[in-house]
Amino acid sequence: MQTTDDWCVSGLCVTARADRMAAVEEIIGQLPGFEVHARDATTGRLVVVQERATVEEHRRGLRELQALPGVLTAELVLHYRNVGDHLDCATTGGSS
């Protein structure tokens, strides 16, 4: 059961084709629940935060990013889930 204290947030690394990076960033910025926090034009990487109510919504959101035109990779780097007074944190170890 979800309460108003329940929430999930994840940190994602999105790598876009250099010639599509601006377009990918614009699309992500328009998607509900996503926010671009940093970009590196040299590597084509975007740091994206996703906020959703459930883990399954996070999975769907990640798949949505992976399917965007111009996206080469979209990977989960960090996930926080707060359920009432309990906070879970998971990291994937990520790639650099």
**Each residue's pLDDT tens digit, 56-75:** 898 999 999 999 999 999 99
The pLDDT value recorded for residue 96 is: 43
Q: In terms of pLDDT, which residue wins out, 8 or 31?
A: 31
> What DSSP string describes 22-86?
HHHHHHHHHSTTEEEEEEETTTTEEEEEEEESSHHHHHHHHHHHHTSTTEEEEEEEEEEEEETTE
Q: Which of 45-54, 65-74, 85-94 has the lowest mean pLDDT?
A: 85-94
Fold of 7-91: Alpha-Beta Plaits (3.30.70)
pTM: 0.79
Q: In terms of pLDDT, which residue wins out, 85 or 70?
A: 70
